[in-house]
């Protein structure tokens, strides 16, 4: 499986994040890292994942899907997040 970093900005006032959260959770494995940043492990291509998620955002929102590869990640995250990353991201 491939891991993608998914980040989004929902720009409409009072935006409901539930729809995109539920769609992300339909992925085989996922980790909600930051407010609007998730890691998703899936057999989908980046384009397929984007196409699935884009239906959950408005035209004025922003969505980014980027493939995550090892060893190209750094950061300051919880131990649980790093455990998930090391279990799902392969070289």
Kindly list the averaged pLDDT for each block of 10 residues, start to end, along the chain of length 91: 92 76 96 94 96 87 92 88 90 53
Separation CA 43–CA 50 (nearest Å)? 13
Q: Alpha-carbon dihedral of residues 54, 60, 61, 64, nearest 10 degrees?
A: 70
Give residue 72's pLDDT.
80
Give residue 42's pLDDT.
96
Which of 84, 68, 69, 73 has its CA nearest to residue 33?
84
CATH architecture of the region 2-88: 2-Layer Sandwich (3.30)
Give residue 18's pLDDT.
85
């Amino acid at each position: 499986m491939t891991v993608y970093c998914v980040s989004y900005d929902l720009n409409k006032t009072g935006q409901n994040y539930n729809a995109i959260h539920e769609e992300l959770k339909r992925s085989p494995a996922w980790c909600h890292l930051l407010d609007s940043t998730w890691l998703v492990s899936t057999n989908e291509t980046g384009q397929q994942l984007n196409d699935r998620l884009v239906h959950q955002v408005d035209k004025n929102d922003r969505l980014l899907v980027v493939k995550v590869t090892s060893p190209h990640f750094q950061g300051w995250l919880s131990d649980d997040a790093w455990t998930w990353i090391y279990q799902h991201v392969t070289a």
